[in-house]
């Protein structure tokens, strides 16, 4: 009889199961970290004895644990420890916070900042070397744009990186220049940052440990139970493994590994899916173009109000893309390529189509990370190849002011959750934090309303229902990591990952979904956050 007695029973609740029938239940039972029964309060009575923990939720709503299918967890956690948070409204404030950071910087170190966003500042412009020279002329200063594809250096940092006014644009990158003088202005785009990255201080194991603990708490508080960490290094994998060994890993992590580690993983006999339900090797991550928020995504046509017909930056050429995809695909890995603009998506899809034709594989579930600007032809090809999309879900709300650079016509095909559904393409909930806010309820609201922080609507044809947005953030996220039979819905046999909400998002004013209080976050039947 003890085999049938639950460890935990949750009753008197409104459970949105996200199963195939969108069943609504009022109670479930959990044993050994998995759901064993879902139904009514009466159904659970025979599964309880004196040892069973029973929680009466008094009508609160339960949803499956949220899954962010593209987020930078460990790297951004370390940045929170090592760098100044430059999410400020004026450049003066940013200079000041970097000066404060400088006081903590060793005499041979770098002053670092992240999450700077030009469109969120009063000045509405990029940082320049002149700005950053006000922070320090002795120490190098390095700031990352919130989009993660544009970087800002002071004169000292340019100097030691080997860049001069005579430098030419490197392959896959661009050097910013003053429009009048032609001198370097301190702005680096895409792969132009590579010489700088080789000079930055190494992230220590302790930095990563502290960062993982810090950001793990933040994400659990938002209702996240699983994440796909996009672009994991071998050193980061080691920290994840250490956290798992110590039973300190609050989240389930599907690791998209950096391309540079592919050969070592392959030669070790590892493929996508290696690991357990807590920590798993995912796909191999690459980057084909720039960013939406930085207006460097590779698009057809040009950006509105752009200089010289600017249409973005291509980070990988066609030949490199096809060769890399073929090799990774043949080795049994999932391929995950960052491609925002329609031109980049077209190139990536061509590589996937070629690899599938030459080396057939059953259901590889290759992904296009972000997959922002699509069209009917691209969507048909994605459906045919089984390609998964991981579009930004918080961008319309948070980055609305940048949407004007794309125009209304393009906006009807951006972050295209409705079109993905219409064309039979599996899409997920994803935020790309730090470029976008990570809160899942904010992402759901943004998908439902397509309204930014100022009330402006962008691309209303792509609005979806709350239930559809909830599925995107749960079951579809599980599908993107080959785990739809293990999690993503509240059903018997699945992992007991769930979130307790104080209000039902399907019965809440859509513009207030982001404000629904989270009461509990639970992973495998264990509470990771409680209000």
User: What is the pLDDT at residue 101?
Assistant: 95
Q: How high is the pLDDT of residue 196?
A: 97
Radius of gyration of the chain from its Cα atoms, rounded to whole angstroms: 23
Whole-prediction pTM? 0.91
Does the structure show a pLDDT above 90 at 473? Answer: yes
140-186 residue pLDDT tens: 999 999 888 899 999 999 999 999 999 999 999 999 999 999 999 99
Question: What pLDDT band is residue 2 in, cutting at 50, 70 and 90?
Answer: low
SS3 of 192, please?
helix
Range list for CATH 2.30.40.10 in the chain? 1-59+490-531
pLDDT at 14 over 80: yes
One CATH from 3.40.50.300, 3.40.50.920, 2.30.40.10, 1.20.1640.10 for 1-59+490-531? 2.30.40.10
What separation in angstroms does the CA of 216 have from each of 68, 260, 441? 13, 26, 17
**In 198-251, which residue ranges form alpha helices assigned H by DSSP?**
205-221, 234-245
Per residue, the 3-state secondary structure of 54-89, as one string, reads EEECCCCEEEECEEEEEECHHHHHHHHHHCEECCCC
pLDDT higher than threshold 90 for residue 274: yes
Instruction: Work out the percent of the chain whose per-residue pLDDT is above 90.
Output: 92
Please give the pLDDT value at position 292: 87
In the chain, CATH 3.10.310.70 sits at 83-197
- Burial bucket for residue 61 (CB in 10 Å: 0-12, 13-18, 19+): buried
Number of helices and strands (H, E) in the chain? Answer: 17, 23
Above 60 in pLDDT, residue 1?
Answer: no
Mean pLDDT along residues 476-505: 98
**What integer is the mean pLDDT of 346-360?**
98
Q: Is a pLDDT exceeding 50 seen at residue 446?
A: yes
Distances (CA, A) of 362 to 229, 333, 356, 408, 482: 25, 12, 9, 38, 13
Cis status, amide bond into 434, omega within 30 of 0: yes
Q: Which pLDDT value is given to residue 510? A: 98
Q: What pLDDT, in 10s, does the model give residues 70-121?
A: 999 999 999 999 999 999 999 999 999 999 999 988 888 999 999 999 989 9
Q: With H, G, I as helix, E, B as strand and everything else as coil, classify residue 224.
A: strand
Query: How many of the other CB atoms lie within 10 Å of CB of 254?
Result: 28
For the chain, the average pLDDT equals 96
The architecture of the domain spanning 83-197 is Roll (3.10)
């Amino acid at each position: 009889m003890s085999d049938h007695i639950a460890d935990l029973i949750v009753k008197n609740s409104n459970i949105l199961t996200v199963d195939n029938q969108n069943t609504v239940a009022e109670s479930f039972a959990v044993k050994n970290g998995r759901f064993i029964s879902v139904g009514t309060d009466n159904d659970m009575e025979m599964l309880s004895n004196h040892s069973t923990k029973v929680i009466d939720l008094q009508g609160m709503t339960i949803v499956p644990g949220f899954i962010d299918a593209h987020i930078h967890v460990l790297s951004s956690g370390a940045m929170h420890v090592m760098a100044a948070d430059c999410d400020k409204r004026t450049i003066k404030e940013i200079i000041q916070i970097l000066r404060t950071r400088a006081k903590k910087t060793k005499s041979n170190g770098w002053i670092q900042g992240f999450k700077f966003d030009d469109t969120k500042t009063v000045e509405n412009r990029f940082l320049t070397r002149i700005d950053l020279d006000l922070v320090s002329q002795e120490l190098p200063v390095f700031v990352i744009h919130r989009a993660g594809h544009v970087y800002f250096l002071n004169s000292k940092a340019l100097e030691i990186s080997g860049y001069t006014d005579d430098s030419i644009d490197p392959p896959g990158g661009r050097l910013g220049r003053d429009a009048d003088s032609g001198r370097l202005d301190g702005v680096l785009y895409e792969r132009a940052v590579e010489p700088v990255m080789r000079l930055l201080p190494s992230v220590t194991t302790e930095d990563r440990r502290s960062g993982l603990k810090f950001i793990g708490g933040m994400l659990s508080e938002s209702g996240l139970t699983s994440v796909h960490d996009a672009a994991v290094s071998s050193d980061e994998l080691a920290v994840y493994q250490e956290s798992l060994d110590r039973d300190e890993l609050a989240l389930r992590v599907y690791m998209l590994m950096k391309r540079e580690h592919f050969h070592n993983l392959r030669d070790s006999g590892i493929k996508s899916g290696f690991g357990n339900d807590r920590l798993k090797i995912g796909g191999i991550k690459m980057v084909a173009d720039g960013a939406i928020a930085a207006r460097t995504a590779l698009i057809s046509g040009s950006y509105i109000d752009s200089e010289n017909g600017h249409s973005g930056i291509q980070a990988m050429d066609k030949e490199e893309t096809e060769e890399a995809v073929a090799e990774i695909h043949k080795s049994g890995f999932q391929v995950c390529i960052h491609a925002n603009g329609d031109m980049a998506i077209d190139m990536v899809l061509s590589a996937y189509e070629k690899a599938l034709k030459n080396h057939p594989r059953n259901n590889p579930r290759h992904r296009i990370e972000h997959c922002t600007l699509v069209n009917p032809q691209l969507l048909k090809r994605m459906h045919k190849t089984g390609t998964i999309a991981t579009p930004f879900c918080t961008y319309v709300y948070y980055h609305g002011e940048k949407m004007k650079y794309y125009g209304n016509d393009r906006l009807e095909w951006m972050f295209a959750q409705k079109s993905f559904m219409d064309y039979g393409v599996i899409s997920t909930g994803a935020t790309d934090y730090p470029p976008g806010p990570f809160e899942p309820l904010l992402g759901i609201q943004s998908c439902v309303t397509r309204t930014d922080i100022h009330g402006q609507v962008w691309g209303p044809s792509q609005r979806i229902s709350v239930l559809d947005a909830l599925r995107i953030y749960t079951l579809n996220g599980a599908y993107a990591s080959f785990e739809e039979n293990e999690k993503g819905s509240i059903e018997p046999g699945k992992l007991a990952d769930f979130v307790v909400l104080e209000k039902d998002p399907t019965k809440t004013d859509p513009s207030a979904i982001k404000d629904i209080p989270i009461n509990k976050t639970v992973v495998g039947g264990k509470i990771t956050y409680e209000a």
